[in-house]
Amino acid sequence: GPQCNLQGLWRNELGSNMTLLALDAAGTFSGSYHTAVAATNNQILVSPLQGALQHSSSKGQPTFGFTVQWQFADSITAFAGQCFVDRRGKETLETTWLIREEVPTRRDSWRATRVGTSIFTRIK
Ligand code: BTN
């Protein structure tokens, strides 16, 4: 069947956009993330991401992960997901994310992490 291709411009249900650049031979890739929302009041800046595509199985719906190093907050986000492709070739990225914010003390660590799911579809 059709294969999933991570390269391109994607948007999630929050309206965040990300660009994933071409994968290298090892399956690692970079890109940029423009979040539509933030936990801070700082001005949102487009932020770099670094990821890896897992060795794809013959089914062509590979797993991947990437981190986003926010340029306007002390937090960092990790995404893990899978690229699905339907019979018409439409690709969907099903992801789960974790965001860790910097808290002042170890006693605050309990509230430092949030988790969620996100679905990306290709816009280009
Ligand atoms: C911050 O507010 O600390 C940095 C921006 C975090 C944006 C989060 S990451 C998970 C979720 N999905 C998005 O597209 N944006 C939010």
Note the ipTM here.
0.99
Ligand 1, atom nearest to 14 Cα: 14
| pTM of the entire predicted model | 0.95
Per 3-state DSSP, what percentage of the chain is helix, strand, and coil (rounded to 5)? 5, 50, 45
Positive or negative, the CA dihedral 22, 48, 79, 95 is negative
78-123 pLDDT, tens digit per residue, is 999 999 999 999 999 999 999 999 999 999 999 999 999 999 999 9
44: CA distance to ligand 1 center in Å?
A: 10
